[in-house]
Amino acid sequence: MLRLSVLDQSPIRSGGTAADAVGETLELAQACDRWGYHRYWLAEHHASRGLAGSTPEVLIAHVAAHTSRIRVGSGGVMLSHYSALKVAENFRMLETLHPGRIDLGIGRAPGSDPRTARALAHGPGALGIEHFPGQIGDLLGFLRGDLPQGHPFRGIRAMPDGPTMPEIWMLGSSGEGAAIAAHFGTAFSFAHFISDEGGTAATRDYAARFHPGVIAAPRASVAVFALAADTEAEALRLAKSRDLWIVRLYTGRPGAFPSVEEAESYPYTEQEAAIAQHARRRTIAGAPEQVRERLISLAQEHGAEEVKVVTITHDFKARLRSYQLLAQAFSLADGSPDASGRSDTMLTRR
């Protein structure tokens, strides 16, 4: 059965504040915990006026402490900015506090503009992106306590130690993330909401090239922008806010998420209208059953066992309603395996 999960970027609404966005993240997480979603991931973005989630490890602790069943994790930690040991320690602590409920999703994108990325990695010893695969190897070695013979950091323990570790996922919007996931034997999540091109090839190639490592067999998911409303017309109307937000982002004018009214009155140029139309290719919006069928079809195309839904509306009540409608459409609250909030496999220390 297809699992349904959440990816939350903690969006900032026009007229709202970053603090409002963080408060809405917690409220949405608690609602999705009640409605039976499988996991809740927090994104990482920096110096953004539209997305408030800069430190997923802090939000994970807060969300996990105020929910009871749903898995909570990062979607993802941008590892290139950080020490592999420190990330391992952060997530070992989270796993100790909330055993069996923590995910570590890892990304290689900067999640920021180039100048902010330099500030995040500033200091002696900062590594370039070409070192990313090595950082993944180090991170896994610290988490499992099995850095190889001859490694300069062998014997260093990521504390607090324990019998289990978080689920490890590689994130990507291209074949590169899929190849890294296959090499290290981790689960892989394709970011369709970022790019609708190459996802099927990436996930299929991941499965074909997978080598058992962290997990024994390939596991794939796809993260999708989806919006459900009581009618298709209402869903398409609500999605107009994201159209304008993307146009502004792609033309160098990033900011808070605009209202539907602002989007409807905005005088799009021909180029901007083309950008919005292209972005709509990676948007699924409609009545609940329409969205359900399209999510199932997309998951099948990608060979994915799970869909992570990204939903952003200017009206927070409409965002809550969208997730509630999808939970009902997928019968999440009826005691199905999707509603367990627990992993079907527990990763143990080797």
The tens digit of pLDDT for each residue in 137-194 reads 999 999 999 999 999 999 998 999 999 999 999 999 989 999 999 999 999 999 999 9
Residue 349 pLDDT grade (very low, low, confident, very high; cuts 50, 70, 90): very low
pLDDT at 71: 98
Q: From CA 60, how far away is CA 101, in angstroms rounded?
A: 10
For residue 213, give the DSSP letter: S
Q: Any idea which of 45-59, 64-78, 100-114 has the lowest mean pLDDT?
A: 100-114
Which residue type is seen at 156? I
Bigger pLDDT: 118 or 41? Answer: 41
The domains found in the chain, sorted by start residue, are 3-122+129-235+283-340 (3.20.20.30)
pLDDT computed for residue 345 by the predictor: 29
Burial class (CB in 10 A: 0-12, 13-18, 19+), 163: exposed
pLDDT above 90 (res 113): no
Q: What is the pLDDT of residues 294-311, one digit of tens each?
A: 999 999 999 999 999 999
> Across residues 235-250, what is the average pLDDT?
97
Q: Determine the average pLDDT of the residues in 259-279.
A: 97
More confident residue, 120 or 17: 17
Please state the length of the chain. 350
Measure Cα distances from 1 to 168, 214, 252, 309, 338 in Å.
21, 23, 41, 16, 8
Tell me, what's the pLDDT at 121?
A: 67
Work out the pLDDT band at 341, boundaries 50, 70, 90.
very low
Looking at residue 129, its pLDDT comes to: 72
Checking if the pLDDT of 52 tops 50, the result is yes
CA-based radius of gyration for the chain: 20
